[in-house]
């Protein structure tokens, strides 16, 4: 029987943007199945991590609706214990034999455990960046063209831009 090629890509997806879509589309041609780890799943309602794990799962599943790939989205919360983090990820996910990440800590931890780790190429990083998109939302600049249409719909449904602006208000 053919061995299933199953890869893990882990990110915070705050929000899921066109660069994420492009890289997942590319990876979907290289593997049979993809595990999409929702990193820092316990985090939400902050300027760096405004969206909940559930909201990020909605963004991803609606964006990937038309892609021909079997994938699993798995929320993964952070732990203050880097040396056992890979074991925690393994405990939550289907088995995988390859990891995609641009994050140096993630790369180091998986490489030390013997995984093949690939660094995805970046698409239009000048614009397709979670940090820059969140900044644009805050500054009333156009951001909608930088994310899949379904992500615009999710962010509108939850008033995500309003949330980010309110979180940025000064305490008194
Ligand atoms: N423009 C892009 N093109 C291709 N892959 C990307 C792009 N931006 C991020 N990635 C990949 O997606 C994964 C998850 O990234 P992440 O959620 O941190 O996005 P980000 O845009 O870097 O967000 P932030 O600015 O909030 O850190 C990373 O492993 C990264 O390599
Ligand atoms: N000890 C830990 O909990 C640990 C270690 C390395 C990465 N992570 C997480 O992996 C994710 C990596 O995603 P980014 O590439 O979007 O930063 C983040 O959510 C990060 O917090 C967690």
pLDDT score recorded for residue 28: 94
With a 6 Å cutoff on the Cβ, whether 100 touches ligand 2 is no
Distance 80 CA to ligand 1 centre (A): 22
pLDDT score recorded for residue 8: 98
CATH superfamily of 6-166: HUPs (3.40.50.620)
Q: Band of the pLDDT at 152, cuts 50, 70, 90?
A: very high
Compute the mean pLDDT over every residue in the chain, rounded to the nearest whole number: 97
ipTM: 0.98
What is the domain partition of the chain in residue ranges? Answer: 6-166
**What is the average pLDDT across 139-144?**
98
Distance, in Å, from the CA atom of 115 to the CA atom of 3, rounded to the nearest integer, reads: 16
HSE-CB for 74 with a 13 A CA cutoff: 21
pLDDT digits (tens, 9 = 90+) for 27-73: 999 999 999 999 999 999 999 999 999 999 999 999 999 999 999 99
If you take atom 4 of ligand 1, which residue's CA is the nearest one? Answer: 122
Q: Among residues 51, 4, 28, which one has the least CA distance to residue 120?
A: 28
Q: Is 107 helix (H, G, I), strand (E, B) or coil?
A: helix
H/E stretch holding 77 reads none
If you take atom 14 of ligand 1, which residue's CA is the nearest one? Answer: 11
């Amino acid at each position: 029987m053919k061995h299933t090629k199953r890869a893990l890509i882990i990110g915070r997806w705050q929000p899921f943007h066109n660069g994420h879509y492009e890289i997942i589309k590319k990876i979907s041609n290289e593997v049979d199945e993809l595990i999409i780890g929702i990193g820092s799943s316990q985090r939400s309602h902050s300027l760096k991590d405004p969206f909940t794990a559930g909201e990020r799962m909605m963004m991803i599943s609606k964006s990937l609706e038309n892609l021909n790939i079997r994938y699993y989205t798995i929320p993964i919360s952070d732990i203050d214990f880097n040396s056992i983090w890979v074991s925690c990820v393994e405990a939550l996910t289907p088995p995988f034999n390859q990891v995609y990440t641009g994050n140096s800590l993630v790369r180091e931890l998986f490489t030390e455990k013997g995984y093949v780790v690939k660094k995805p190429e970046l698409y239009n990083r000048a614009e397709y960046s979670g940090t820059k998109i969140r900044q644009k939302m805050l500054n009333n600049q156009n951001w909608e063209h930088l994310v899949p249409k379904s992500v615009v719909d999710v962010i509108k449904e939850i008033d995500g831009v309003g949330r980010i602006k309110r979180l940025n208000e000064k305490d008194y």
